[in-house]
Structure 1
Amino acid sequence: MPIGTKQGGIWRTPGGVFVRVSGTWQRVKLVHVRVAGIWQLAFVDAFSFNISGSLVDVNLRSAAVAAGWNGISSVTATVTSGSVLNASSNYALVINGSFPNGVSLINNGIIAGRGGVGGAGGTARGDLQVANGGAAGGAGGHGLLAQVPVTIFNNGIIAGGGGGGGGGGSTIANQFVDDGSGSGGGGGGGK
Protein backbone atom coordinates (compact mmCIF):
# COMPACT_ATOMS: atom_id res chain seq x y z
CA MET A 1 0.00 0.00 0.00
CA PRO A 2 1.83 3.15 -1.15
CA ILE A 3 1.38 6.55 0.45
CA GLY A 4 1.37 9.89 -1.29
CA THR A 5 1.12 13.63 -0.80
CA LYS A 6 -1.27 15.89 -2.67
CA GLN A 7 0.55 18.80 -4.31
CA GLY A 8 -1.37 21.19 -6.55
CA GLY A 9 -4.21 18.69 -6.89
CA ILE A 10 -1.86 15.87 -7.96
CA TRP A 11 -0.96 12.85 -5.81
CA ARG A 12 2.79 12.24 -5.69
CA THR A 13 5.00 9.58 -4.09
CA PRO A 14 7.18 11.23 -1.44
CA GLY A 15 10.95 11.16 -1.82
CA GLY A 16 11.27 10.92 1.94
CA VAL A 17 9.19 10.99 5.10
CA PHE A 18 10.22 12.95 8.20
CA VAL A 19 8.99 13.13 11.80
CA ARG A 20 9.79 15.67 14.46
CA VAL A 21 11.46 14.15 17.53
CA SER A 22 12.41 16.44 20.43
CA GLY A 23 12.38 19.48 18.14
CA THR A 24 14.54 17.88 15.41
CA TRP A 25 13.29 16.59 12.06
CA GLN A 26 14.49 13.04 11.40
CA ARG A 27 14.15 10.94 8.26
CA VAL A 28 11.96 7.85 8.64
CA LYS A 29 13.11 4.53 7.17
CA LEU A 30 9.74 2.74 7.30
CA VAL A 31 6.10 3.88 7.57
CA HIS A 32 3.31 1.51 8.58
CA VAL A 33 -0.39 2.42 8.45
CA ARG A 34 -3.32 0.64 10.04
CA VAL A 35 -5.98 -0.45 7.53
CA ALA A 36 -9.07 -2.30 8.79
CA GLY A 37 -7.23 -3.20 12.00
CA ILE A 38 -4.14 -4.57 10.21
CA TRP A 39 -0.77 -2.78 10.11
CA GLN A 40 0.64 -2.59 6.58
CA LEU A 41 3.94 -1.33 5.27
CA ALA A 42 3.24 1.87 3.32
CA PHE A 43 6.67 3.42 2.70
CA VAL A 44 10.25 2.18 2.57
CA ASP A 45 13.08 4.70 2.32
CA ALA A 46 15.77 3.97 -0.28
CA PHE A 47 19.33 3.11 0.78
CA SER A 48 22.22 4.28 -1.40
CA PHE A 49 25.93 3.59 -1.01
CA ASN A 50 29.15 3.68 -3.02
CA ILE A 51 31.57 0.90 -3.89
CA SER A 52 34.97 2.51 -4.34
CA GLY A 53 38.59 1.54 -4.89
CA SER A 54 40.28 -1.57 -6.23
CA LEU A 55 38.34 -4.53 -4.81
CA VAL A 56 38.26 -8.29 -5.36
CA ASP A 57 35.29 -10.70 -5.17
CA VAL A 58 32.58 -8.23 -4.08
CA ASN A 59 29.18 -9.45 -2.84
CA LEU A 60 26.74 -6.56 -3.22
CA ARG A 61 24.40 -7.66 -0.40
CA SER A 62 27.30 -8.07 2.04
CA ALA A 63 28.68 -4.67 1.01
CA ALA A 64 25.25 -3.05 1.55
CA VAL A 65 24.92 -4.58 5.04
CA ALA A 66 28.45 -3.43 5.92
CA ALA A 67 27.52 0.10 4.75
CA GLY A 68 24.51 0.20 7.10
CA TRP A 69 21.61 -1.18 5.05
CA ASN A 70 18.65 -2.24 7.22
CA GLY A 71 17.82 -5.31 5.10
CA ILE A 72 14.42 -3.88 4.07
CA SER A 73 14.89 -0.65 2.09
CA SER A 74 15.45 -0.68 -1.65
CA VAL A 75 19.17 -0.57 -2.46
CA THR A 76 21.08 1.52 -4.98
CA ALA A 77 24.78 0.69 -5.19
CA THR A 78 27.13 2.86 -7.24
CA VAL A 79 30.54 1.67 -8.43
CA THR A 80 32.36 5.00 -8.53
CA SER A 81 34.39 6.28 -11.46
CA GLY A 82 37.96 5.01 -11.34
CA SER A 83 37.02 1.98 -9.24
CA VAL A 84 37.95 -1.52 -10.41
CA LEU A 85 36.26 -4.73 -9.24
CA ASN A 86 38.19 -7.90 -10.13
CA ALA A 87 37.79 -11.60 -9.43
CA SER A 88 40.32 -13.87 -7.77
CA SER A 89 38.58 -16.97 -9.15
CA ASN A 90 34.87 -16.81 -9.99
CA TYR A 91 33.06 -13.45 -10.28
CA ALA A 92 34.14 -9.85 -9.72
CA LEU A 93 30.65 -8.88 -8.44
CA VAL A 94 27.90 -11.16 -7.14
CA ILE A 95 24.34 -9.92 -6.58
CA ASN A 96 22.39 -12.53 -4.65
CA GLY A 97 20.37 -12.98 -1.47
CA SER A 98 17.26 -11.11 -0.43
CA PHE A 99 16.47 -7.55 -1.52
CA PRO A 100 12.81 -7.25 -0.41
CA ASN A 101 12.26 -3.87 -2.09
CA GLY A 102 14.60 -4.19 -5.04
CA VAL A 103 18.19 -3.49 -5.96
CA SER A 104 19.82 -1.23 -8.54
CA LEU A 105 23.43 -1.03 -9.67
CA ILE A 106 24.98 2.08 -11.21
CA ASN A 107 28.36 1.22 -12.68
CA ASN A 108 30.70 4.11 -13.43
CA GLY A 109 33.87 2.01 -13.05
CA ILE A 110 35.16 -1.34 -14.25
CA ILE A 111 33.77 -4.76 -13.26
CA ALA A 112 35.99 -7.39 -14.87
CA GLY A 113 36.40 -11.14 -14.54
CA ARG A 114 39.74 -12.80 -13.91
CA GLY A 115 42.00 -13.41 -16.91
CA GLY A 116 42.68 -16.99 -17.95
CA VAL A 117 46.02 -18.64 -17.24
CA GLY A 118 48.51 -19.07 -20.06
CA GLY A 119 49.00 -22.53 -21.56
CA ALA A 120 52.14 -24.55 -20.89
CA GLY A 121 54.77 -24.60 -23.62
CA GLY A 122 55.38 -27.73 -25.66
CA THR A 123 58.27 -30.07 -24.89
CA ALA A 124 60.69 -31.92 -27.14
CA ARG A 125 62.91 -34.98 -26.71
CA GLY A 126 65.38 -35.23 -29.56
CA ASP A 127 66.67 -38.65 -28.49
CA LEU A 128 63.11 -40.06 -28.67
CA GLN A 129 62.07 -38.10 -31.75
CA VAL A 130 59.08 -36.65 -29.80
CA ALA A 131 57.81 -33.09 -30.07
CA ASN A 132 54.62 -31.94 -28.33
CA GLY A 133 52.50 -28.92 -29.05
CA GLY A 134 51.79 -26.30 -26.41
CA ALA A 135 48.69 -26.51 -24.20
CA ALA A 136 45.65 -24.29 -24.66
CA GLY A 137 45.27 -21.26 -22.41
CA GLY A 138 42.58 -21.19 -19.72
CA ALA A 139 39.22 -19.48 -20.11
CA GLY A 140 38.69 -16.03 -18.64
CA GLY A 141 36.30 -15.55 -15.70
CA HIS A 142 32.94 -13.79 -15.52
CA GLY A 143 32.56 -10.17 -14.49
CA LEU A 144 29.08 -10.25 -12.93
CA LEU A 145 26.71 -12.85 -11.49
CA ALA A 146 23.14 -11.67 -10.81
CA GLN A 147 20.96 -14.29 -9.10
CA VAL A 148 18.13 -11.87 -8.25
CA PRO A 149 16.27 -9.28 -10.33
CA VAL A 150 18.42 -6.15 -10.60
CA THR A 151 18.26 -2.90 -12.57
CA ILE A 152 21.67 -2.02 -14.02
CA PHE A 153 22.75 1.37 -15.34
CA ASN A 154 26.14 0.74 -16.97
CA ASN A 155 28.16 3.89 -17.65
CA GLY A 156 31.49 2.04 -17.37
CA ILE A 157 32.69 -1.44 -18.30
CA ILE A 158 31.30 -4.83 -17.32
CA ALA A 159 33.42 -7.55 -18.91
CA GLY A 160 34.62 -11.11 -18.64
CA GLY A 161 38.34 -11.76 -18.30
CA GLY A 162 40.32 -12.49 -21.44
CA GLY A 163 41.40 -16.03 -22.18
CA GLY A 164 45.00 -17.06 -21.57
CA GLY A 165 47.32 -17.43 -24.53
CA GLY A 166 48.19 -20.87 -25.84
CA GLY A 167 51.64 -22.30 -25.12
CA GLY A 168 54.24 -22.28 -27.87
CA GLY A 169 54.91 -25.46 -29.85
CA SER A 170 58.17 -27.38 -29.79
CA THR A 171 60.65 -28.65 -32.35
CA ILE A 172 63.34 -31.30 -32.30
CA ALA A 173 66.68 -29.53 -32.40
CA ASN A 174 68.94 -32.60 -32.29
CA GLN A 175 67.64 -36.07 -32.95
CA PHE A 176 70.44 -37.84 -31.03
CA VAL A 177 70.44 -36.05 -27.66
CA ASP A 178 67.84 -34.81 -25.19
CA ASP A 179 68.88 -31.19 -25.21
CA GLY A 180 65.38 -29.70 -24.75
CA SER A 181 66.37 -26.73 -26.88
CA GLY A 182 63.21 -27.00 -28.92
CA SER A 183 60.75 -26.54 -26.05
CA GLY A 184 58.04 -23.92 -26.58
CA GLY A 185 57.35 -20.98 -24.31
CA GLY A 186 54.29 -20.72 -22.08
CA GLY A 187 51.31 -18.66 -23.18
CA GLY A 188 50.58 -15.25 -21.74
CA GLY A 189 47.89 -14.82 -19.10
CA GLY A 190 44.61 -13.20 -20.06
CA LYS A 191 43.61 -9.74 -18.90
Structure 2
Amino acid sequence: MALPSTGPLSLSQVNTELGRATGATISLGDAGVRGLAGVVNGAIGLGTLRGKSAQFTHTITSHQQELDLHTYLQAQGWDGTSKVEVTVAAGIYIWSDTTTIPALDMGGAFPGGLTLVNRGFIMGKGGDGGYQLADRSSYVAPTAGGPAIGLTGPIIIDNAAGYIGGGGGGGAAATGQPIAILSTAVHSPGGGGAGGGRGGAMPYGNTSSLVMGAFGSGGAIGQPGSVATNSNNWAGATVPSHGGAGGAGGAGAVEGGGL
Protein backbone atom coordinates (compact mmCIF):
# COMPACT_ATOMS: atom_id res chain seq x y z
CA MET A 1 0.00 0.00 0.00
CA ALA A 2 1.45 3.37 -1.01
CA LEU A 3 2.24 6.12 1.48
CA PRO A 4 -0.38 8.91 1.62
CA SER A 5 -0.05 11.67 -0.97
CA THR A 6 -1.70 14.22 1.33
CA GLY A 7 -2.32 14.59 5.05
CA PRO A 8 -0.19 13.37 7.96
CA LEU A 9 2.89 11.27 7.18
CA SER A 10 5.17 9.77 9.82
CA LEU A 11 8.33 7.69 9.87
CA SER A 12 6.34 4.87 11.50
CA GLN A 13 4.25 4.73 8.32
CA VAL A 14 7.46 4.58 6.30
CA ASN A 15 8.60 1.64 8.46
CA THR A 16 5.34 -0.17 7.72
CA GLU A 17 5.69 0.44 3.99
CA LEU A 18 9.22 -0.98 4.12
CA GLY A 19 7.96 -4.10 5.91
CA ARG A 20 9.59 -3.18 9.21
CA ALA A 21 8.16 -3.00 12.71
CA THR A 22 6.33 0.29 13.29
CA GLY A 23 8.63 1.34 16.15
CA ALA A 24 11.91 0.23 14.54
CA THR A 25 14.79 2.70 14.49
CA ILE A 26 14.69 4.71 11.26
CA SER A 27 16.15 7.85 9.75
CA LEU A 28 15.65 9.67 6.48
CA GLY A 29 19.23 8.84 5.55
CA ASP A 30 18.67 5.06 5.69
CA ALA A 31 19.44 3.27 2.44
CA GLY A 32 15.99 1.68 2.46
CA VAL A 33 14.28 5.03 2.95
CA ARG A 34 16.34 6.66 0.20
CA GLY A 35 15.56 3.76 -2.10
CA LEU A 36 11.84 4.14 -1.43
CA ALA A 37 12.01 7.89 -2.05
CA GLY A 38 14.18 7.50 -5.14
CA VAL A 39 16.75 9.94 -3.72
CA VAL A 40 20.16 8.28 -3.69
CA ASN A 41 22.16 11.31 -2.50
CA GLY A 42 21.58 14.83 -1.22
CA ALA A 43 18.76 16.42 0.74
CA ILE A 44 15.73 14.30 1.57
CA GLY A 45 12.54 15.06 3.48
CA LEU A 46 9.24 13.40 4.26
CA GLY A 47 7.71 15.20 1.30
CA THR A 48 9.83 13.14 -1.10
CA LEU A 49 8.18 9.98 0.28
CA ARG A 50 4.58 10.99 -0.43
CA GLY A 51 2.75 8.52 -2.66
CA LYS A 52 5.73 6.15 -2.72
CA SER A 53 5.25 2.40 -2.56
CA ALA A 54 7.73 -0.34 -1.73
CA GLN A 55 5.71 -2.73 -3.90
CA PHE A 56 5.76 -2.78 -7.69
CA THR A 57 2.39 -3.75 -9.15
CA HIS A 58 1.62 -4.64 -12.76
CA THR A 59 -1.21 -6.29 -14.70
CA ILE A 60 -0.51 -8.40 -17.79
CA THR A 61 -3.24 -7.54 -20.31
CA SER A 62 -1.91 -9.17 -23.51
CA HIS A 63 -1.23 -12.81 -24.40
CA GLN A 64 2.37 -13.91 -23.74
CA GLN A 65 4.37 -16.82 -25.15
CA GLU A 66 7.15 -18.37 -23.01
CA LEU A 67 7.21 -15.41 -20.65
CA ASP A 68 10.43 -14.60 -18.74
CA LEU A 69 8.79 -12.73 -15.88
CA HIS A 70 11.98 -11.18 -14.46
CA THR A 71 12.99 -9.63 -17.79
CA TYR A 72 9.42 -8.63 -18.63
CA LEU A 73 8.84 -6.77 -15.35
CA GLN A 74 12.12 -4.88 -15.59
CA ALA A 75 10.98 -3.66 -19.02
CA GLN A 76 7.79 -2.41 -17.31
CA GLY A 77 9.80 -0.32 -14.82
CA TRP A 78 10.51 -2.69 -11.92
CA ASP A 79 13.77 -1.81 -10.14
CA GLY A 80 14.82 -5.44 -9.69
CA THR A 81 14.70 -5.42 -5.88
CA SER A 82 11.33 -4.20 -4.55
CA LYS A 83 8.39 -6.46 -3.75
CA VAL A 84 6.30 -7.40 -6.79
CA GLU A 85 2.63 -8.21 -7.25
CA VAL A 86 1.80 -9.15 -10.82
CA THR A 87 -1.69 -10.02 -12.06
CA VAL A 88 -2.63 -12.01 -15.17
CA ALA A 89 -5.88 -10.42 -16.33
CA ALA A 90 -9.01 -12.48 -17.01
CA GLY A 91 -9.04 -14.05 -20.48
CA ILE A 92 -5.27 -13.71 -20.97
CA TYR A 93 -3.26 -16.78 -22.05
CA ILE A 94 0.38 -17.38 -21.16
CA TRP A 95 1.56 -20.44 -23.06
CA SER A 96 4.56 -22.30 -24.46
CA ASP A 97 5.17 -23.79 -27.88
CA THR A 98 7.80 -26.25 -26.67
CA THR A 99 7.67 -28.88 -23.94
CA THR A 100 11.17 -27.94 -22.71
CA ILE A 101 10.30 -24.32 -21.80
CA PRO A 102 7.67 -23.33 -19.19
CA ALA A 103 4.80 -21.09 -20.19
CA LEU A 104 5.89 -18.69 -17.44
CA ASP A 105 9.41 -18.71 -16.01
CA MET A 106 10.30 -16.58 -12.98
CA GLY A 107 13.62 -15.97 -14.75
CA GLY A 108 15.62 -14.79 -11.73
CA ALA A 109 15.55 -13.65 -8.11
CA PHE A 110 12.88 -11.43 -6.55
CA PRO A 111 14.61 -10.06 -3.42
CA GLY A 112 11.50 -8.27 -2.13
CA GLY A 113 9.19 -11.21 -2.78
CA LEU A 114 6.83 -12.11 -5.61
CA THR A 115 3.06 -12.56 -5.61
CA LEU A 116 1.34 -13.87 -8.75
CA VAL A 117 -2.42 -13.34 -9.03
CA ASN A 118 -3.71 -15.39 -11.94
CA ARG A 119 -7.14 -14.70 -13.41
CA GLY A 120 -6.28 -16.06 -16.84
CA PHE A 121 -4.67 -19.23 -18.22
CA ILE A 122 -1.07 -20.37 -17.73
CA MET A 123 -0.59 -23.52 -19.81
CA GLY A 124 2.34 -25.74 -20.72
CA LYS A 125 2.80 -27.25 -24.17
CA GLY A 126 0.94 -30.51 -24.83
CA GLY A 127 2.77 -33.67 -25.84
CA ASP A 128 2.53 -35.31 -29.28
CA GLY A 129 0.31 -38.30 -29.91
CA GLY A 130 1.90 -41.67 -30.61
CA TYR A 131 1.97 -43.08 -34.15
CA GLN A 132 3.32 -45.80 -36.43
CA LEU A 133 6.04 -45.12 -38.98
CA ALA A 134 5.58 -45.76 -42.69
CA ASP A 135 6.67 -49.40 -42.32
CA ARG A 136 3.51 -49.90 -40.20
CA SER A 137 5.47 -51.85 -37.63
CA SER A 138 7.83 -49.35 -35.95
CA TYR A 139 6.14 -47.28 -33.26
CA VAL A 140 6.90 -43.77 -31.98
CA ALA A 141 5.63 -43.36 -28.43
CA PRO A 142 3.64 -40.32 -27.28
CA THR A 143 5.56 -37.58 -25.52
CA ALA A 144 5.00 -35.89 -22.16
CA GLY A 145 3.64 -32.37 -21.90
CA GLY A 146 5.68 -29.40 -20.69
CA PRO A 147 5.50 -27.37 -17.44
CA ALA A 148 3.28 -24.36 -16.85
CA ILE A 149 5.58 -22.47 -14.44
CA GLY A 150 9.35 -22.56 -13.87
CA LEU A 151 10.43 -21.53 -10.36
CA THR A 152 13.74 -19.87 -9.45
CA GLY A 153 12.79 -18.93 -5.88
CA PRO A 154 9.90 -18.37 -3.46
CA ILE A 155 6.55 -17.23 -4.87
CA ILE A 156 3.00 -16.72 -3.59
CA ILE A 157 0.35 -17.75 -6.13
CA ASP A 158 -3.32 -16.77 -5.96
CA ASN A 159 -5.08 -18.94 -8.54
CA ALA A 160 -8.61 -18.73 -7.13
CA ALA A 161 -9.99 -17.20 -10.34
CA GLY A 162 -7.64 -18.67 -12.95
CA TYR A 163 -6.25 -21.85 -14.45
CA ILE A 164 -2.70 -23.21 -14.29
CA GLY A 165 -1.74 -26.54 -15.85
CA GLY A 166 1.14 -28.34 -17.46
CA GLY A 167 0.58 -29.57 -21.00
CA GLY A 168 -1.25 -32.87 -21.33
CA GLY A 169 0.70 -35.91 -22.43
CA GLY A 170 0.03 -37.22 -25.94
CA GLY A 171 -2.30 -40.19 -26.39
CA ALA A 172 -1.01 -43.61 -27.44
CA ALA A 173 -1.76 -45.01 -30.88
CA ALA A 174 -3.82 -48.15 -31.39
CA THR A 175 -3.79 -50.86 -34.04
CA GLY A 176 -5.54 -54.19 -34.36
CA GLN A 177 -8.69 -55.95 -35.54
CA PRO A 178 -11.78 -54.54 -33.79
CA ILE A 179 -13.98 -57.53 -34.74
CA ALA A 180 -12.66 -61.08 -34.74
CA ILE A 181 -14.12 -61.95 -38.16
CA LEU A 182 -12.26 -59.06 -39.85
CA SER A 183 -8.76 -59.61 -41.19
CA THR A 184 -8.22 -55.95 -42.10
CA ALA A 185 -6.05 -54.08 -39.61
CA VAL A 186 -7.22 -50.78 -38.20
CA HIS A 187 -4.78 -48.03 -37.17
CA SER A 188 -5.51 -45.01 -34.97
CA PRO A 189 -2.77 -42.52 -34.00
CA GLY A 190 -3.01 -40.90 -30.58
CA GLY A 191 -4.45 -37.46 -29.98
CA GLY A 192 -2.22 -34.58 -28.92
CA GLY A 193 -2.19 -33.45 -25.31
CA ALA A 194 -4.10 -30.39 -24.14
CA GLY A 195 -2.05 -27.26 -24.65
CA GLY A 196 -1.36 -27.54 -28.37
CA GLY A 197 0.00 -31.09 -28.61
CA ARG A 198 0.08 -32.49 -32.16
CA GLY A 199 -2.14 -35.40 -33.14
CA GLY A 200 -0.22 -38.48 -34.31
CA ALA A 201 0.59 -38.78 -38.01
CA MET A 202 -0.61 -41.65 -40.21
CA PRO A 203 1.19 -43.61 -42.97
CA TYR A 204 -0.72 -43.75 -46.25
CA GLY A 205 -0.36 -45.01 -49.81
CA ASN A 206 -0.06 -48.54 -51.21
CA THR A 207 2.12 -51.13 -49.50
CA SER A 208 5.02 -50.64 -51.91
CA SER A 209 5.10 -46.87 -51.52
CA LEU A 210 4.08 -45.87 -48.01
CA VAL A 211 4.74 -42.32 -46.84
CA MET A 212 3.97 -40.50 -43.61
CA GLY A 213 0.98 -38.21 -43.32
CA ALA A 214 1.04 -34.90 -41.49
CA PHE A 215 0.63 -34.33 -37.77
CA GLY A 216 -2.61 -32.70 -36.71
CA SER A 217 -1.59 -29.22 -35.57
CA GLY A 218 -2.54 -27.59 -32.29
CA GLY A 219 -5.19 -24.90 -32.42
CA ALA A 220 -4.99 -21.16 -31.88
CA ILE A 221 -5.29 -19.76 -28.36
CA GLY A 222 -8.29 -21.34 -26.69
CA GLN A 223 -9.38 -23.16 -29.87
CA PRO A 224 -9.47 -26.85 -30.86
CA GLY A 225 -6.66 -28.39 -32.87
CA SER A 226 -7.06 -30.15 -36.23
CA VAL A 227 -7.21 -33.83 -37.14
CA ALA A 228 -4.09 -35.41 -38.66
CA THR A 229 -4.33 -35.56 -42.46
CA ASN A 230 -3.68 -37.93 -45.38
CA SER A 231 -5.68 -40.87 -44.06
CA ASN A 232 -9.27 -41.95 -43.73
CA ASN A 233 -10.53 -40.04 -40.71
CA TRP A 234 -13.10 -41.93 -38.68
CA ALA A 235 -16.65 -41.02 -39.60
CA GLY A 236 -18.11 -38.82 -36.89
CA ALA A 237 -14.72 -38.18 -35.27
CA THR A 238 -14.59 -35.07 -33.13
CA VAL A 239 -11.67 -32.75 -32.47
CA PRO A 240 -10.69 -32.22 -28.81
CA SER A 241 -11.84 -28.87 -27.46
CA HIS A 242 -9.14 -28.32 -24.85
CA GLY A 243 -8.30 -24.67 -24.22
CA GLY A 244 -4.98 -22.94 -24.57
CA ALA A 245 -4.11 -23.96 -28.12
CA GLY A 246 -6.09 -27.18 -27.97
CA GLY A 247 -4.64 -30.62 -28.51
CA ALA A 248 -5.04 -32.05 -32.00
CA GLY A 249 -6.82 -35.29 -32.89
CA GLY A 250 -5.08 -38.31 -34.36
CA ALA A 251 -6.47 -39.63 -37.64
CA GLY A 252 -8.01 -43.08 -37.97
CA ALA A 253 -7.51 -45.34 -40.98
CA VAL A 254 -8.26 -48.83 -42.28
CA GLU A 255 -5.38 -50.64 -43.94
CA GLY A 256 -5.90 -51.26 -47.67
CA GLY A 257 -4.83 -54.28 -49.68
CA GLY A 258 -2.25 -52.38 -51.73
CA LEU A 259 -0.19 -53.84 -54.51
TM range (shorter): 0.5 to 0.7
TM-score (norm 1): 0.68
Kindly report which structure 2 residues correspond to 1:97-108, keeping only aligned pairs within 5 A, or say none.
Answer: 97-108=108-119
Deviations 1:58-110 (A, max 9, x none): 11111101111122221111011101111111210001312221111111111
1:165 touches 1:189 (CA, 8 Å); kept in 2?
yes
Out of 75, 79, 88, the position equivalent to 1:70 is 79
Query: The residue matched to 2:74 in structure 1 has which SS?
Result: helix
Structure 2 residues not aligned, in runs of 5+: 1-10, 19-25, 37-53, 178-183, 195-259
Residue 187 of structure 1 pairs with residue 190 of structure 2: yes
Kindly report which structure 2 residues correspond to 1:111-190, keeping only aligned pairs within 5 A, or say none.
Answer: 111-121=122-132, 132=137, 134-155=139-160, 156-169=162-175, 182=185, 184-190=187-193
> Could you say which structure has the greater relative contact order, defined with CA pairs below 8 angstroms and 6 or more residues apart?
1
Distance 1:142 1:135 in 2: 22
Query: The residue matched to 1:116 in structure 2 has which SS?
Result: coil
Deviations 1:115-151 (A, max 9, x none): 0011113666xxxxxx737543111111111111111
**Counterpart code for 2:157:** I
Out of 12, 16, 24, the position equivalent to 1:4 is 12
Q: Which stretch shows the higher mean deviation, 100-109 or 115-124?
A: 115-124
Distance 2:103 2:27 in 1: 38
TM-score (norm 2): 0.51
Structure 1 residues not aligned, in runs of 5+: 6-10, 16-30, 125-130, 172-180
2:129 touches 2:172 (CA, 8 Å); kept in 1?
yes
- For residue 27 of structure 1, what is the aligned residue in structure 2? none
1:120 touches 1:135 (CA, 8 Å); kept in 2?
yes
Identify if the C-alpha distance between structure 1 residues 182 and 47 changes in structure 2 by more than 3 Å, giving closer, same or farther. Answer: same
Q: Matched residue pairs, number?
A: 150
Query: The residue matched to 1:47 in structure 2 has which SS?
Result: strand
Out of 42, 55, 60, the position equivalent to 1:51 is 60
Query: The residue matched to 1:13 in structure 2 has which SS?
Result: helix
**Counterpart code for 2:172:** G
Distance 1:99 1:158 in 2: 21
1:91 touches 1:145 (CA, 8 Å); kept in 2?
yes
Distance 1:62 1:165 in 2: 35
What do you get for the CA RMSD once the two structures are aligned? Answer: 2.8
Out of 70, 81, 88, the position equivalent to 1:79 is 88
Distance 1:85 1:142 in 2: 12
**Identity, % of aligned positions:** 31
**Counterpart code for 2:67:** V
Query: The residue matched to 1:50 in structure 2 has which SS?
Result: strand
**Counterpart code for 1:13:** T
Larger proportion of strand? 1
Identify if the C-alpha distance between structure 1 residues 87 and 141 changes in structure 2 by more than 3 Å, giving closer, same or farther. Answer: same
Q: CA deviation at 1:49?
A: 0.8
